[in-house]
Amino acid sequence: MYLLWKKISRFLILAATAPFLSKPRQIALERYLRGREEARKLALCDAVIVSYGKSGRTWLRVMLSRFYQTKHRLRTQQLLGFDNLHRKHPAIPKLFFTHDNYLKDYTGHADSKVDYYGRKVVLLVRDPRDVAVSQFFQWKFRMRPGKKDLNRYPPHGEEVSLFDFVMNPDCGLPKIIEFLNLWAREIPKFRSLLLVRYEDLRADTAKELRRITDFLGTPGSAAEIEDAVAYASVENMRKLEQEKKFWLSGSRLIPKDKSNPDSYKVRRAKVGGWRDYFDDAQAAAIDALLERLHPMFGYTATTSKVASL
């Protein structure tokens, strides 16, 4: 209830101050308040699952939700949402899912991950080129206008080509690389961090999900793992999205336009699919940018070409 009240209070504060603040100051205030909410969740959680947006977090959330519901025989259509399933069964951990967007606006720690050092962290990463393309479709078809302003995306209604979006330092590939590079520099300072690559999760989902549940201290049987994997298959998740099965969890897994496949949360889920959208010269420019990425993640022009064959 405390966290719900914090969210309500954010809306009340923003509504009360809107007539008196310029738009930049409104945005700064909202980011600060969202960061305060994140700091509270971080302090209360059992583990953190961090990812840049469009790196497979919803897929992982669906798998973990199903895993815990099956393991503890819960009847609910809710996705994991911090402590909602923990309240139904105390053996289910309180998981803080975050894109690491706003915490620094509250703590001031923009150049380190010191806020997370003492926590158990799952860092979910994905090829930044696939992330950047997925971010474009998220921005174009799913993102609310206010969120675009809040996170320095192109304004609502603006016409931007996919290539220009991907190359944009405020929202595209450069920003994603910057995000990952900071985490790469900070990883040696963590005592308990599990790095999970989306591509590995796709290649052997059961193995990677078992790594995650074991790391979280909630190991499961082979049957429980396989059931969660099957439930969160791309085909079934598209079906769940069409049927709005998780409407109780907000708009996270609801299509904006059922007639437009690009407006779905579960769009293509293709490893290396970013290359389908660009000519050779554009792809080369994108690959050149990728050279800035820390090598620990294993994403190179060669790996993408192999994965997309």
- Which has the minimum average pLDDT: 40-49, 91-100, 140-149, 245-254? 245-254
In the predicted structure, residue 73 carries a pLDDT above the cut 80: yes
Number of domain units in the chain:
1
In the predicted structure, residue 208 carries a pLDDT above the cut 80: yes
Q: For position 266, what pLDDT does the model report?
A: 55
* pLDDT (mean) for 34-44: 96
Q: For position 69, what pLDDT does the model report?
A: 95
In the predicted structure, residue 264 carries a pLDDT above the cut 50: no
Token couple for 119: 């926590």
Whether residue 64 is contained in a domain is answered as: yes
Q: For position 263, what pLDDT does the model report?
A: 46
Whether residue 241 is contained in a domain is answered as: yes
In the predicted structure, residue 260 carries a pLDDT above the cut 80: no
Q: Residue type at 124?
A: L
Whether residue 20 is contained in a domain is answered as: no
C-alpha to C-alpha distance for 63 and 125, rounded to whole angstroms:
17
Quote the pTM value. Answer: 0.88
Whether residue 290 is contained in a domain is answered as: yes
Whether residue 71 is contained in a domain is answered as: yes
Q: Percentage of the chain surpassing pLDDT 90?
A: 74
In the predicted structure, residue 281 carries a pLDDT above the cut 50: yes
**Domain that includes residue 59, residue range:** 45-299
| DSSP labels, 286-301 | HHHHHTTS-GGG---H
Alpha-helical (H) ranges within 20-113 are: 23-44, 57-71, 84-88, 103-107
Residue 286 sits in a domain of what CATH number?
3.40.50.300
